[in-house]
């Protein structure tokens, strides 16, 4: 599927930490392979780290280390008095990247913005189905098709978005990876050449780094974009060394084979902190891990069964074993650091005997099920296999036989969307924009069923509350609506909420300028390597 890069692993050892090379090469030991390089098609942070953040830019972006938006490809914007029309003024002179496979002939203009959104929106756009089965999961799951009335070109540097109703999260949403701006000129060329899939293999954007090549499941290479519209990166070359095992990532970091790694094993954190050649950045994660029941399939279509299984799970044991305390048990679908978190909600108590009795009362005997365990570490779940084993043991105590299954990461994400999927899927979420809507509607809204809503749960009472919260701008009123939505969620139990974790990022001591994101992103346009 992907173009093989001639870049070889020997470069890693030659140019990493020694500093002997004249060019600065920064190596990131990433945790998994990207699904592709078109950010509109996907929802995984791994994919965004490899595509949206290095290669692309957006109309607005999040200030480093915050959930506040700031101008990016749009210098400014205006909102009409009725809150329905957003007019964006584009930054003049923005260049698309020049690569071995494409040389742009013009600067960014309104056509690129309209193309980037309409391909996800309009079924008659030739790019809407360029990947078979493409669902534009984020765009659809956040209700954008029903929100947008029109996108119009006012002039080359002015674009007007008209909405059907007010949307409080709209500005934050368009700063997210799915709203990355692609080159229409590049797309037109690929379409004319009959090579439309290449846009997902050889990306071209306006971001800080230019894509060089991808050796599948091994290495991604980028170089500094000399025409970047923002502050130029301090490093010359960026390398993603794909390393799925957390222990191996740690060994590579210690050996100086990479500069920074994500998602360390909890057991390694103290050793990392004790190593004078290493340092750690950490903060409360804006995340949640969960086990999503398929609420359309028996017996998980019964709330009594879901509540019984929730009571059987010892969440504190998961926190202790997987995170060694660097996490807290979760009771709500949003983290406690997020505004509108409803602390008054009571969690399902860990009570195996009550769980067993509840199953019997529901008429469920000899239940066998599958627990899906992620094959990769994520910030919200460092070791899904271990967590699944603990849940398997918990279920066994109440007479439920659970089989643990897994797949390669991209396949896992794809198969787990199926509406007829069996069992319960372990997944999680790190907030993309700091708005509760990004959790509650994106993961649990009716329009996300078959996509991010892995529970396949459509509850009108919940959905009406979340939809109403989108359409009001008063934060106090939105807070009340989201608090009520969390009560409905807990009553209906489409998930077993598992944990909220501390986000820990180890790096070499000579790394400067890395800014940890509350959104869980890994970006490298501000990093430097000192002597």
Three-class SS state of 461 = helix
Cα separation of 438 and 408, whole Å? Answer: 26
Residue 66 has pLDDT above 60, yes or no: yes
| Residue 195, token pair as written in the block | 């090579």
Give the confidence band of 290 by pLDDT, cuts at 50, 70, 90.
very high
Rounded Cα distance between 70 and 53, Å, is 15
CB 295 within 8 A of CB 456: yes
Closest of 75, 112, 105 to residue 92, by C-alpha: 75
pLDDT tens column, 7-57: 334 444 444 444 444 699 999 999 999 999 999 999 999 999 999 999 999
With beta carbons less than 8 A apart as the criterion, state whether 291 and 318 touch: no
So what's the pLDDT on residue 148?
98
How high is the pLDDT of residue 531? 77
Q: Do residues 345 and 339 make contact, with C-beta atoms less than 8 angstroms apart?
A: no
pLDDT in tens, 423-471: 999 999 999 888 999 999 999 999 999 999 999 999 999 999 999 999 9
Q: Is 200 left (phi over 0), alpha (psi -120 to 50) or beta?
A: alpha
* Count of C-beta atoms within a 10 Å radius of residue 328: 17
The stretch 248-268 carries a mean pLDDT of 96
Share of the chain above pLDDT 70, in %: 96
Residue 150's pLDDT is what?
98
What confidence category does residue 389 fall into, taking pLDDT thresholds of 50, 70 and 90?
very high
Specify the pLDDT at position 1: 36
Q: What percentage of the chain has pLDDT greater than the value 90?
A: 91
- The yes-or-no verdict on residue 244 having pLDDT over 50 is yes
Residue 83 CA to residue 78 CA, distance in Å, equals 10
DSSP structure class, residue 448: G
Average pLDDT over residues 206-217: 97
> What pLDDT was estimated at residue 239?
98
Which pLDDT belongs to residue 3?
35
Q: How many residues does the chain have?
A: 531
* Cβ-proximal residues to 25 (8 Å cutoff; 6+ apart), any chain: 11, 15, 16, 235, 236, 237, 238, 239
pLDDT for res 181: 98
- Asked whether the beta carbons of 326 and 379 are under 8 A apart, the reply is no
DSSP string, 316-359: HHHIIIIITTSEEE--SSS-TTSTT--TTPPPPP--HHHHHHHH
Position 282 pLDDT exceeds 50: yes
Rounded to whole angstroms, the Cα distance separating 446 from 460 reads 8
What is the C-alpha separation between 107 and 183, in angstroms, rounded?
9
Radius of gyration from C-alpha coordinates of the chain: 23
CB burial readout 434-447, b (16+ within 10 A) else e: bbbbbbbbbbbbbb
CA distances from 443 to 142, 260, 440, 525 (A): 9, 30, 6, 30
pLDDT at 411 over 80: yes
Q: What is the pLDDT of residue 435?
A: 93
Which pLDDT score is estimated for 252? 98
Q: pLDDT digit string (tens) for 137-193?
A: 889 988 899 999 999 999 999 999 999 999 999 999 999 999 999 999 999 999 999
- The tens digit of pLDDT for each residue in 340-351 reads 999 999 999 999
**Residues contacting 116, CB < 8 A, separation 6+:** 40, 179, 180, 181, 182, 184
Return d(Cα 387, Cα 391) in angstroms, integer: 6
Q: What is the DSSP letter of 421?
A: -
Instruction: With beta carbons less than 8 A apart as the criterion, state whether 49 and 203 touch.
Output: no
Cβ neighbour number for residue 510 with a 10 Å cutoff: 15
The CB density around residue 71, as the number of other CB atoms within 10 Å, is 14
**Structural tokens at position 458:** 């459509």
Q: CB-based contacts of 411: which residues, under 8 Å, 6+ apart?
A: none
What is the SS3 assignment for 502? strand
pLDDT of residue 400: 98
Confidence check: pLDDT of 220 > 90: yes
Burial 104-116 (b: 16+ CB within 10 A, else e): beebbbbbbbbbb
Residue 207 to residue 58: CA distance in whole angstroms: 9
> What is the pLDDT averaged over residues 254-274?
95
pLDDT band at 133 (very low <50, low <70, confident <90, very high): confident
Q: Which two tokens stand for residue 188?
A: 């037109």
Predicted local distance difference test score (pLDDT) of residue 205: 98
Region 392-403: what's the mean pLDDT? 98
| C-alpha closest to that of 525 among 258, 206, 60 | 206
More confident residue, 81 or 22: 81
What pLDDT was estimated at residue 404? 98
Mean pLDDT, residues 239-245: 97
Q: Are 260 and 28 in contact (CB under 8 A)?
A: yes
Mean pLDDT estimate for the chain? 94
Report whether pLDDT(123) > 90: yes
Note the pLDDT tens digit of each residue in 95-119: 999 999 999 999 999 999 999 999 9
Q: Are strands 401-405 and 60-62 parallel, antiparallel or unpaired?
A: unpaired
How far is residue 524's CA from residue 141's CA, in Å, rounded to a whole number?
28
Sign of the Cα torsion 117, 96, 72, 57 reads positive
What are the pLDDT digits (tens) for 301-336?
Answer: 999 999 999 999 999 999 999 999 899 999 999 999
Render pLDDT for 494-525 as a digit per residue (tens, 0 to 9). 999 999 999 999 999 999 999 999 999 999 99
pLDDT at site 17: 46
Strand partners, 293: 424
510 close to 529: Cβ distance less than 8 angstroms: yes
Tell me which residue of 225, 181, 157 sits closest to 57, measured CA to CA: 181
- Grade residue 6 by pLDDT with cuts at 50, 70 and 90: very low
pLDDT for res 229 = 98
Q: Which residue has the tokens 């500069």?
A: 259
Assess contact for 113 and 131: CB atoms under 8 A. Answer: no
């Amino acid at each position: 599927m992907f173009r093989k890069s001639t870049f070889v692993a020997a470069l890693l050892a030659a140019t990493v930490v020694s500093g002997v090379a004249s060019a600065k090469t920064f190596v990131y030991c990433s945790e998994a392979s990207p699904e592709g390089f078109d950010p509109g098609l996907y929802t995984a942070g791994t994919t965004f780290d490899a595509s949206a953040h290095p290669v692309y830019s957006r109309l607005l972006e999040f200030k480093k280390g915050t959930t506040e938006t700031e101008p990016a490809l749009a210098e400014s914007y205006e909102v009409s008095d009725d809150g329905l029309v957003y007019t964006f003024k584009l930054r003049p002179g923005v260049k698309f990247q020049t690569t071995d496979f494409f040389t742009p002939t013009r600067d960014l203009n309104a056509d690129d913005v309209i193309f980037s959104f309409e391909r996800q929106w309009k079924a008659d756009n030739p790019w809407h189905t360029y990947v078979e089965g493409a669902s534009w999961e984020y765009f659809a799951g956040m209700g954008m098709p029903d929100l947008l009335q029109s996108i119009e070109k006012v002039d080359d540097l002015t674009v007007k978005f008209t909405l059907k109703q007010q949307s409080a999260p709209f500005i934050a949403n368009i700063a997210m990876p799915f709203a990355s701006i692609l080159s229409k000129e590049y797309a037109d060329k690929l379409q004319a050449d009959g090579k439309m899939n290449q846009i997902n293999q050889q990306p071209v954007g306006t971001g800080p780094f230019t894509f060089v090549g991808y050796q599948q499941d091994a290495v991604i290479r980028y170089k500094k974009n000399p025409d970047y519209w923002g502050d130029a990166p301090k490093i010359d070359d960026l390398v993603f060394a794909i390393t799925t095992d957390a222990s191996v990532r740690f060994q590579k970091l210690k050996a100086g084979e990479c500069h920074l790694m994500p998602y360390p094993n909890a057991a390694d954190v103290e050793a990392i902190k004790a190593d004078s050649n290493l340092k750690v950045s950490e903060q409360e994660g804006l995340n949640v891990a969960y086990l999503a029941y398929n609420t359309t399939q028996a017996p998980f279509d019964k709330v009594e069964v879901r509540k019984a299984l929730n009571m059987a799970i010892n969440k504190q044991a998961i926190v202790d074993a997987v995170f060694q305390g660097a996490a807290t048990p979760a009771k709500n679908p949003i983290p406690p650091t997020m505004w509108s978190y409803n602390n008054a909600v009571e969690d399902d108590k860990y009570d195996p005997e009550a769980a067993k009795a509840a199953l019997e009362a529901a008429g469920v005997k000899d239940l066998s099920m599958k627990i899906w365990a992620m094959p990769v570490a994520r910030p919200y779940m460092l070791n899904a296999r271990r967590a699944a084993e603990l849940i398997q043991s918990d279920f066994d105590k109440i007479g439920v036989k659970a089989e643990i299954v897994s797949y390669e990461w991209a396949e896992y994400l794809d198969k787990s969307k199926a509406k007829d999927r069996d069992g319960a899927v372990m997944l999680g979420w790190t907030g993309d924009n700091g708005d509760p809507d990004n959790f509650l509607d994106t993961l649990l809204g009716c329009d996300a069923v078959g996509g991010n809503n892995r529970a396949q749960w459509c509850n009108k009472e919940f959905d009406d509350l979340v939809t109403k919260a989108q359409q009001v701008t008063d934060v106090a009123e939105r807070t009340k609506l989201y608090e009520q939505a969390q009560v409905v969620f807990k009553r209906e139990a489409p998930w077993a909420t598992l944990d909220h974790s501390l986000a820990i990022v180890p790096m070499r001591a000579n790394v400067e300028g890395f800014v940890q994101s509350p959104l869980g992103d890994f970006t490298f346009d501000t990093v430097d390597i000192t002597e």
